């Protein structure tokens, strides 16, 4: 396996994961009745971390390998690393803190809108990364 192969595999996994979150998970979370919000959001937070940690770890390792192997780094690789980095940064600096506020303050419309926007940014970023990883 090469660094390019690892990046493609990790990015494809990341894109599939993010697509499921965007199309299935977040709409279900958004549609929770207010009286079920606290329990539903807490359950989501516990369950999603079981997937987020290994997927993001694989993405970081693959990106790091590609950057370490400078001879393997192409424009497509740079785009893939950048798209993955944007998705991870959006999680760290927007989605995760917003989840924290949603857990404390409940399903306030402005927080849900912020979370859904961050989610769309992540999906777009990882799809761009996937295109980069395939070229």
Question: Tokens representing 121?
Answer: 């940014």
Segments forming the whole domain that contains residue 52: 3-134
> For the chain, what is the domain count?
1
Three-state DSSP at 135 gives: coil
24 has a pLDDT exceeding 70:
yes
Structure tokens at 50: 């079981």
User: How much is the pLDDT for 74?
Assistant: 85
State how far the Cα of 107 lies from the Cα of 30, in Å rounded to an integer. 8
**Terminal C-alpha separation, the chain:** 17
Note the pLDDT of residue 89.
Answer: 98
Position 70 scores a pLDDT of: 72
pTM: 0.92
For tokens 């799809």, name the residue: 127
pLDDT for 72 beyond 90: no
Q: Give, as one character, the DSSP assignment of residue 1.
A: -
Q: Is the pLDDT of residue 73 over 80?
A: no
């Amino acid at each position: 396996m090469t660094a390019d192969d690892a990046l493609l595999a990790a990015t494809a996994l990341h894109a599939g994961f993010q697509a499921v979150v965007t199309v299935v998970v977040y709409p279900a979370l958004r549609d929770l009745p207010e009286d079920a919000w606290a329990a539903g959001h807490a359950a989501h937070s516990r369950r999603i971390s079981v997937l987020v940690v290994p997927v993001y770890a694989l993405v970081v390792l693959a990106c790091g390998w590609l950057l370490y192997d400078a001879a393997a780094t192409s424009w497509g690789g740079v785009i893939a690393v950048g798209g993955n980095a944007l998705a991870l940064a959006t999680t760290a600096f927007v989605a995760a803190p917003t989840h924290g506020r949603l857990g404390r303050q409940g399903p306030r419309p402005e927080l849900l809108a912020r979370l859904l926007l961050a989610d769309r940014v992540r999906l777009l970023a990882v799809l761009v990364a996937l295109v980069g990883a395939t070229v």
